Structure 1
Amino acid sequence: MVQRHVINASVSPKGSLETLSQREVQQLSEVGSGSSYTLFRQCVLAILNTGAHVDNAKTILEAYKDFDVRIHQQDRGVRLELLNAPADAFVDGEMIASTREMLFSALRDIVYTQSGLDSPRMDLSHSAGITDYVFHLLRNARTLRPGVEPKIVVCWGGHSINTEEYKYTKKVGHELGLRLLDICTGCGPGVMKGPMKGATISHAKQRLTGGRYLGLTEPGIIAAEAPNPIVNELVILPDIEKRLEAFVRVGHGIIIFPGGAGTAEEFLYLLGILMHPDNRDIPFPVILTGPKEAEPYLQQLHEFVGATLGATAQTHYQIIIDNPAEVARHMTTGLKAVKQFRRERNDAFHFNWLLKIDEGFQRPFDPTHANMASLQLRRDLPPHELAINLRQAFSGIVAGNVKEKGIHLIEQHGPYEIHGDAAVMKPLDKLLQAFVEQHRMKLPGGAAYVPCYRVVS
């Protein structure tokens, strides 16, 4: 049960925020577009719960049913009125600065997302149009900085990792920061916080100001993984597919730490893209790493990739065990290759335009019971296509675990059924069972995990 301490407050943006039109305010008001208001309220509530050890969106929403946010347009700009807001977001009645910044980042992104979808300039009917939309979302958030050399390292992994794994992510982040590299994560706790925390210390040691701690999230996951306070650039993408594309477009290399279903989803998404024939020559350093205790997990994931996608898929990443400095050195070398390649091909440093992403990776997947049951999980599919379908299977499991809509579907209709060839289902079932046994589906110490899925071969 979430412990409630609430406060009423009025908050204005620090710095500057473009004023909203009357139509935009109406879209976000309770009497205007109900879906936009509901989305904004959920994101605001998640941001105000930064630091809460709750990984269930439904729990947070139910604990603060009387929370409300009202938007007031003034001559001087926008003001937010918060009613029954979580008191931990304030110190002596004043909102914490990072929390205030994130609130108005959410306002910026949701307003722009809605106006972008309504704009005839945005064409989401084909792959290039979707990529262009992701570009505009990131540019509006001032994430794209032309001329800056490639140094954004994306870190993926679980939000409910154990203490040793968390300490290891901080050590890796520290080594990356010593090499003046910036960090991009999913912005929540666990692996999404550890590398940022490590990098802040090493950036300070190197007297680096302006270090970037970029957090990319989406509305369906933000309440379960509220932004950590180190994030100094928050971007809320419309859905998980746009979020994943944003990671690989703005990131220059990716480090994958131990995690659960969400990490497997991200990993499969990345492998499916890198295995596409059009991407064969594009350098993109990928490292799987963890402390010595996590070696069995990394080996399980490696074996799953080999069993389902084949040995070629395993050549797209390197596994480094219990050696943070080596991880950072290998990543630094990989980033030099990225820089050289983009210079030769005249590709932008700030957005990876040349990377080919199939529409199957870009189209939002709705994890209904029917869609989950109809996934084609066959070994005879081209590996990059099988990766798309496996990614969607894990996306559904994540939804059933932590997303409000998915949780409701499981409550109403029981667990998802996932069908496929035994050659795919057997390693899938083995990997998922290992996640459950290692407490990688929920925060350790909570209630026993009840699977939201059933594997059928």
Structure 2
Amino acid sequence: MSAKIDTSLPTVNARIYPRGGLDVLSRDEVARLRDASTGMHDLLRRCALAVLTSGSASDDPRAARELYPDFDIQVHQQDRGVRIDLAHAPAMAFVDGEIIHGVADLLFAVVRDLAYTAIELRADSGRDLESTDGITDAVFGLLRNARILHPTEPNLVVCWGGHSISRDEYVYTKQVGYELGLRGLDICTGCGPGAMKGPMKGATIAHAKQRQRRSRYIGITEPGIIAAESPNPIVNHLVIMPDIEKRLEAFVRLGHGIIVFPGGVGTAEEILYLLGILLREENEGLPFPLIFTGPSASAPYFEQIDKFLRLTLGEAATSRYEIVIGDPIAVAKRMAAGIRKVRENRIAHKDSFFFNWSLKVPVEFQRPFVPSHEAMATLDLHHGRKPHELAADLRRAFSGIVAGNVKEDGMRRIEAHGPFEIHGDPGMMQSLDALLRAFVEQRRMKIAGEYKPCYRVLA
């Protein structure tokens, strides 16, 4: 790689030659990545800038572009491979004129995943993206192309939680990650800061102590959120799914168990997604360890989450999760025991260790939800529905709030038309409003600055 440093600004112009999975891209793939008319090049630019500012403390998707307005990326197909040209790239991604190896890996992942999506999931690709099996096959294809499907023993723990958490909560996530790492468990998160970084950081120390040399720290994101939650520096396998629904399915297909730390609306969305699936009859006997945990000070947070889930989804939902407060060792032991049951079940049902084919994900949890004002206002949030059906619409409500908070398209809609309006059963809306108000008061909606709600809850 050759690099030319611009001494007047903290930026770098660089030429990079990827190795490994990006040795070869077709001319069609490269052409699509450079196509400005479809918006693909702008998407590539936004995602690339996010990984080049890895570790950023901002959760405003427009902040990086304002700091680096002249940044650009061009991908070139050559006879002997691929070349990536960076113009006015953030200097923080370089040391002595050389791009940091971990950042380069994340950058290559961006190009790889966007190129795959542009070709394999385009409208005329011939793929069935309307049926359950077709969408699951697309998720599998994306993960396989990213080379993270390995036929190893079940050991992958998905950790969900907020990007804006307190210092005590962050330290706790590291402690849990450390205990998981001591037991040989790898970590998968949403790849950002806060509760997505802490478990990985704790696990790195434990893996080093155990001399575990091939540890996986998988970050799964999607284009709408990566700019607001830049990958943390520990991620060594980054996957960009095309939308939030495929991202969520990737988590539950890859992971052998899930730990939920304190978070905001995004975390609530993830909880409702998983419980909505696990509450279906087809998944009733499927082992899937799910633990809610945080430090002692977070007990009221989980009490409120538990109360909300009981009110909306019923008492049956509580059988699918357990709450452990202030005890990282107990969390790790219970998760390890739960994953052993998952292993036994996969063997008994001849299911793969690396992709959970047995889990039945209904199409209403798979089809992308576009949170327009009309779509948010017409969500059916009333009692009397089956728990998994109500969970699907509640998940969409939280997804819309996430979009209004941190996704550029959603933020534009709010700026143009005002807050989303959410209607439903009075008791349910009262509980939802209380939960959202608590997120705001506990500063779980925003890393910095004052939070202005992007929603109104109406009975």
| TM-score exceeds 0.5 | yes
Matched, 1:203 2:207: yes
- Map Cα deviations across residues 59-80 of structure 1 (whole Å, 9 max, x no partner): 2233322211111222221111
Matched, 1:109 2:124: no
Match of 1:256? 260
Match of 1:322? 326
Alignment partner of 1:20 out of 6, 21, 25:
25
Give 3-state SS (helix, strand or coil) of 2:13's partner: strand
Match of 2:456? 454
In structure 1, how many angstroms separate the alpha carbons of the residues matched to 2:329 and 2:256?
Answer: 18
For structure 1, which segment, 63-72 or 366-375, has the greater mean C-alpha deviation from structure 2 after superposition?
Answer: 63-72
In structure 1, how many angstroms separate the alpha carbons of the residues matched to 2:299 and 2:402?
Answer: 23
Q: Is the 8 A contact 1:379 1:423 kept in 2?
A: no
Displacement after TM superposition at 1:121 (Å): 4.7
Q: Is the 8 A contact 2:130 2:367 kept in 1?
A: no
Once the two structures are superposed, the pairs formed by residues 371-382 of structure 1 within 5 Å of their partners are 371-382=375-386
Give 3-state SS (helix, strand or coil) of 2:121's partner: helix
In structure 2, how many angstroms separate the alpha carbons of the residues matched to 1:86 and 1:309?
Answer: 46
In structure 1, how many angstroms separate the alpha carbons of the residues matched to 2:177 and 2:19?
Answer: 29
- Map Cα deviations across residues 244-299 of structure 1 (whole Å, 9 max, x no partner): 00000010000000000000000000100010111000000000000011111111
For structure 1, which segment, 349-358 or 68-77, has the greater mean C-alpha deviation from structure 2 after superposition?
Answer: 68-77
Q: Is the 8 A contact 1:417 1:455 kept in 2?
A: yes
In structure 1, how many angstroms separate the alpha carbons of the residues matched to 2:268 and 2:400?
Answer: 12
Q: Is the 8 A contact 1:14 1:100 kept in 2?
A: no
Q: Is the 8 A contact 2:217 2:234 kept in 1?
A: yes
Once the two structures are superposed, the pairs formed by residues 300-339 of structure 1 within 5 Å of their partners are 300-339=304-343
Matched, 1:269 2:273: yes
- Map Cα deviations across residues 411-442 of structure 1 (whole Å, 9 max, x no partner): 11110000011121011001000000000000
- Map Cα deviations across residues 126-160 of structure 1 (whole Å, 9 max, x no partner): 111100110111111111112x1111000000011
The alignment-based identity, stated in percent, is: 58
Matched, 1:350 2:354: yes
Matched, 1:400 2:404: yes
Matched, 1:5 2:3: no
Which letter does structure 2 place at the counterpart of 1:399? A
Match of 1:35? 39
Once the two structures are superposed, the pairs formed by residues 19-418 of structure 1 within 5 Å of their partners are 19-31=24-36, 33-118=37-122, 120-146=125-151, 148-418=152-422
Displacement after TM superposition at 1:163 (Å): 0.6
In structure 1, how many angstroms separate the alpha carbons of the residues matched to 2:130 and 2:345?
Answer: 30
In structure 1, how many angstroms separate the alpha carbons of the residues matched to 2:372 and 2:10?
Answer: 36
Q: Is the 8 A contact 1:378 1:420 kept in 2?
A: yes
* Count of equivalent residues: 450
Displacement after TM superposition at 1:120 (Å): 4.1
In structure 1, how many angstroms separate the alpha carbons of the residues matched to 2:125 and 2:446?
Answer: 42
Q: Is the 8 A contact 1:308 1:427 kept in 2?
A: no
Mark the CA change 1:343 to 1:414 in structure 2 (over 3 Å): closer, same or farther: same
Which structure 2 residue ranges, 5 or more long, are not aligned? 1-8
In structure 2, how many angstroms separate the alpha carbons of the residues matched to 1:338 and 1:291?
Answer: 27
Q: Is the 8 A contact 2:119 2:125 kept in 1?
A: no
- Map Cα deviations across residues 187-212 of structure 1 (whole Å, 9 max, x no partner): 11111110001001000000111011
Q: Is the 8 A contact 2:245 2:368 kept in 1?
A: yes
In structure 1, how many angstroms separate the alpha carbons of the residues matched to 2:127 and 2:355?
Answer: 18
In structure 2, how many angstroms separate the alpha carbons of the residues matched to 1:76 and 1:98?
Answer: 23
In structure 2, how many angstroms separate the alpha carbons of the residues matched to 1:253 and 1:313?
Answer: 17
In structure 1, how many angstroms separate the alpha carbons of the residues matched to 2:422 and 2:125?
Answer: 38
In structure 2, how many angstroms separate the alpha carbons of the residues matched to 1:121 and 1:370?
Answer: 31
Q: Which TM-score applies when normalising by structure 1?
A: 0.97
In structure 2, how many angstroms separate the alpha carbons of the residues matched to 1:227 and 1:14?
Answer: 21
In structure 1, how many angstroms separate the alpha carbons of the residues matched to 2:10 and 2:23?
Answer: 32
Which letter does structure 1 place at the counterpart of 2:118? Q
Which letter does structure 1 place at the counterpart of 2:455? Y
For structure 1, which segment, 97-106 or 68-77, has the greater mean C-alpha deviation from structure 2 after superposition?
Answer: 68-77
Mark the CA change 1:8 to 1:190 in structure 2 (over 3 Å): closer, same or farther: same
Which letter does structure 1 place at the counterpart of 2:216? R
Displacement after TM superposition at 1:317 (Å): 0.3
Which structure 1 residue ranges, 5 or more long, are not aligned? none
Which letter does structure 1 place at the counterpart of 2:210? Q
In structure 2, how many angstroms separate the alpha carbons of the residues matched to 1:418 and 1:65?
Answer: 36
Mark the CA change 1:137 to 1:230 in structure 2 (over 3 Å): closer, same or farther: same
In structure 2, how many angstroms separate the alpha carbons of the residues matched to 1:327 and 1:286?
Answer: 10
In structure 2, how many angstroms separate the alpha carbons of the residues matched to 1:342 and 1:305?
Answer: 29
In structure 2, how many angstroms separate the alpha carbons of the residues matched to 1:27 and 1:38?
Answer: 11
- Map Cα deviations across residues 213-272 of structure 1 (whole Å, 9 max, x no partner): 111000000000001111111110000000000000010000000000000000000100
Q: CA RMSD in A?
A: 1.1
Q: Which TM-score applies when normalising by structure 2?
A: 0.96
Displacement after TM superposition at 1:15 (Å): 4.0
In structure 2, how many angstroms separate the alpha carbons of the residues matched to 1:34 and 1:365?
Answer: 21
Q: Is the 8 A contact 1:185 1:215 kept in 2?
A: yes
Give 3-state SS (helix, strand or coil) of 2:137's partner: helix
Displacement after TM superposition at 1:356 (Å): 0.8
Q: Is the 8 A contact 2:142 2:241 kept in 1?
A: yes
Q: Is the 8 A contact 1:375 1:389 kept in 2?
A: yes
In structure 2, how many angstroms separate the alpha carbons of the residues matched to 1:30 and 1:22?
Answer: 12
Which letter does structure 2 place at the counterpart of 1:142? R
